Amino acid sequence: SLGYTYFKLKEYTRAMIYFKAFADANSQDKTRLTDVYLRLGDSYYATSHYTLAIDAFKKASQLSNKEIDYARYQIAMSYGFLNQSSEKIITLKQLVAQNRTSRLYDDALFELGNTYLKSAQDNLALQTYDVLLNTVTRSPFKAKALLKEGLIYYNQDNPAKALTIYK
């Protein structure tokens, strides 16, 4: 459809028109409708319409569990851009708790740790980074999580602990 064409061209406003039209006209095909709501959410997200993105991602997750992790992660990120840290934390915790095999598991843990850190909840940030470091064997976020832990300990006036993290 033209919605996907415009989406691939990064013409998100135009893509939204076609995605909305498809969603309104095709309520029976749940597989396609789920994907349309995901792309509609992506389009809203890309154009900084985060409340609308949340609504679209929620609709997608209600239709199918297939992409629920992606939808939840995008919902959480949208809450972050809306400065709704508590909602972001709740959503990330749901994602992490409900699917440890998700391809977004380490992304969600790292983002959860960062959100705790930003919310001045250092101990929860440390716990979350530890979960990432101890449960995920391969992750591009491991080195970053170690750096964040070292920084937390340093800022807590515990340079010896920070140094052991960095070694």
pLDDT of residue 29: 83
pLDDT of residue 146: 96
The CB density around residue 117, as the number of other CB atoms within 10 Å, is 20
pLDDT of residue 38: 97
pLDDT of residue 87: 98
pLDDT of residue 27: 76
Residues of the chain predicted below pLDDT 50: none
pLDDT of residue 165: 87
Give the pair of three-digit tokens for residue 3.
């919605």
pLDDT of residue 42: 98
Alpha helices (H) along 26-104: 30-46, 50-63, 68-81, 85-98
**Phi, psi of 82, deg, nearest 5:** -90, 10
